């Protein structure tokens, strides 16, 4: 099977019985795919991708898995941590646009899995990007027990208790001034 440089699969090259594709996407290419994803600090490993294509008439069924390690930023303590994604996905592509049906027809659950392609190529880069975005945590934590930052001095409590929590320097904290302003209102 021929894979173009930009990860497009030519549909004509998929045999009727199916084809398996295994490839690795280098770190720089994955970073380019995720450009603009503020959740991701860095891509740590190449992305390994395994796809099974089955062509049946005008449909192509794609079942795949991918694996990549990313560096995310904890929203509590602001430290970076490694987050591994090892996920699977399923798509059904139709190469022929079917006749439009009435607008008031109800969608079935399996209709949501169907995508239409131009009849020549399937773009794996858009699939990989979509799958990574869908599987990133909305609120990334380095661990469930992360204590975060001290609300008074900003020290990372994961590294140990700060002096504020013992009450010794709380009054000198710049955050204490903000708390006083809030209390005055």
Residue 102 banded pLDDT, cuts 50, 70, 90: low
Nearest CA-CA partner of 94 in 69, 129, 118 = 118
Tokens of 7: 């990860």
How long a stretch of residues is the chain? 185
Residue 99 banded pLDDT, cuts 50, 70, 90: very low
The angle at the Cα of 128, spanning 125 to 134, to the nearest 5 degrees, equals 140
Three-class DSSP category at 182: helix
Which position has the higher pLDDT, 15 or 178?
15
Average pLDDT, the chain: 80
Residue 1 banded pLDDT, cuts 50, 70, 90: very low
């Amino acid at each position: 099977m021929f894979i173009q440089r930009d990860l497009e699969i030519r549909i004509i090259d998929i045999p009727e019985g199916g084809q398996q594709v295994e490839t690795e996407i280098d770190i720089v290419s994955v970073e380019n795919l995720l450009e603009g994803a503020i959740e991701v600090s860095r891509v740590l490993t190449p992305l390994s991708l395994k796809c099974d294509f089955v062509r049946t008439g005008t449909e192509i069924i794609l079942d795949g898995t991918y694996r990549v390690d990313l560096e995310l930023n904890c929203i509590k303590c602001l430290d970076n941590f490694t987050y591994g994604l090892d996920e699977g996905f399923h798509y059904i592509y139709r190469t022929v646009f079917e006749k439009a049906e009435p607008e008031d027809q109800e969608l079935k659950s399996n209709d949501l899995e169907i995508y239409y392609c131009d009849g020549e190529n399937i773009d794996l880069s858009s699939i990989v990007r979509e799958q990574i975005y869908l599987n990133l945590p909305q609120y990334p934590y380095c661990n469930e027990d992360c204590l975060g930052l001290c609300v008074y001095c900003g020290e990372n409590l994961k590294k140990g208790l700060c002096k504020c929590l013992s009450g010794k320097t709380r009054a000198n904290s710049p955050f204490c001034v903000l708390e006083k302003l809030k209390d005055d209102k």
